[in-house]
Structure 1
Amino acid sequence: MERIYYAGDQFLTGTAIANALVSYAAALGRRGTTGAIEIPVRHPDDGRLSVVNFLVGPASQIVTERIDAGDDDELRDEQLVERLRSLTAELAPMHPITNHGVPDTEQAVDYDWTDEV
C-alpha cells in the first residue's frame, strides 16, 4: 500500500497503482504536457473508498510513501495500471531502430558505379 501526497492532501492506494501514476506523471513532465487520471483511493482518516481525479504533469508534486497494511487493504486495479503503463509508453521518446546485424553475404550487391553522385 502507498500513501500519495498531492495538493496538500493524502490518499492511500495500491502500490502498483501509485507506481504507475508516478511514472505517468514523470512522462507527462518530460513532454511538458498534462493529463487527468482517476485513481481509486482509501481516505486515511476514515477508511472510506472513493475515486480521486489527479491532474498530473510538469508542475505536479506527487510524493508516495510505502506504508505497512494488510494484504486485504491493498487496492488493486489491473486495468487501470495497464492503462497508465500504456499511456506512459505512448509518451516515451521515439528512438530509431537500426539493424546492426551481419550483412547477408548470400545476396549479391548490384551497384551501378557509372551513376553520378
Structure 2
Amino acid sequence: MDRIHYAGDSILTGTDIARALLDYAQALAQVGSAATVEIPTIDEAGEPGRSDILVGPASQLISSSAQVAHEELVDEKLVDQLREKTRNLRRYGTPGTGAVVTEQDDPPAGEWSDYEGI
C-alpha cells in the first residue's frame, strides 16, 4: 500500500495505483495539462472509499510506502487506463487515444492533365 500526500492531507491506496497516478501527473505536467482522477482508497478503519484528485502542472504529490494491516488495494482497470493515458501524453501530447496511422501504398502518379482544374 502507498500513502499519497496531497494538499496537506493524505490518502491510502494501492501501490500500483499510486505509481500510475504519479506517472500520469508527471506526463500531464510536461504538456501543461490537468485532469481529475478518481481512485479507490481505504480509510484508517479499513473502510473502502474513493477520492478525486486534481493532477496537473501545479500538483505536488508525494507517495510513500505504508505498512498497514489492510489488504493491498488493486484496480487493474484503472492502472491500465492511467498507463495508457500516460503513454498517449508522452507520445502525442494528449490524453486521448492519439492518431491512428494506417499504412497505405501510394497510388501511381497520374498524368499532368489529370490535375487540371483542381
CA RMSD of aligned residues (A): 1.3
Could you tell me which residue of structure 1 aligns to residue 37 of structure 2? Answer: 37
| TM-score normalised by length of structure 2 | 0.73
What is the correspondence of 1:17-28 to structure 2 with a 5 Å cutoff? 17-28=17-28
TM-fit CA distance, 1:67: 1.5
Residue ranges of structure 1 left out of the alignment (5+ in a row): 95-117
Q: Per-residue CA shift, 1:52-83, capped at 9, x if unaligned? A: 0111000001100001235x521000000000
SS at match of 1:91: helix
Q: Distance in 1 between matches of 2:7 and 2:71?
A: 24
Q: How many residues end up aligned between the 2 structures? A: 92
Larger Rg over CA atoms: 1
Q: Distance in 2 between matches of 1:64 and 1:89?
A: 21
Moved segments of 4+, more than 6 Å: none
Could you tell me which residue of structure 1 aligns to residue 111 of structure 2? Answer: none
Could you tell me which residue of structure 2 aligns to residue 86 of structure 1? Answer: 84
| TM-score normalised by length of structure 1 | 0.74
> Is 1:2–2:16 an aligned residue pair?
no
Could you tell me which residue of structure 2 aligns to residue 100 of structure 1? Answer: none
Q: Distance in 1 between matches of 2:58 and 2:47?
A: 28
Q: Distance in 1 between matches of 2:38 and 2:81?
A: 11
Aligned-pair identity in percent equals 45
Matched letter for residue 29 of structure 1: A
TM-fit CA distance, 1:48: 2.1
Residue ranges of structure 2 left out of the alignment (5+ in a row): 93-118
TM-fit CA distance, 1:34: 0.1
Of 61-70 and 21-30, deviating more is 61-70
Matched letter for residue 52 of structure 1: S
Q: Distance in 2 between matches of 1:47 and 1:7?
A: 22
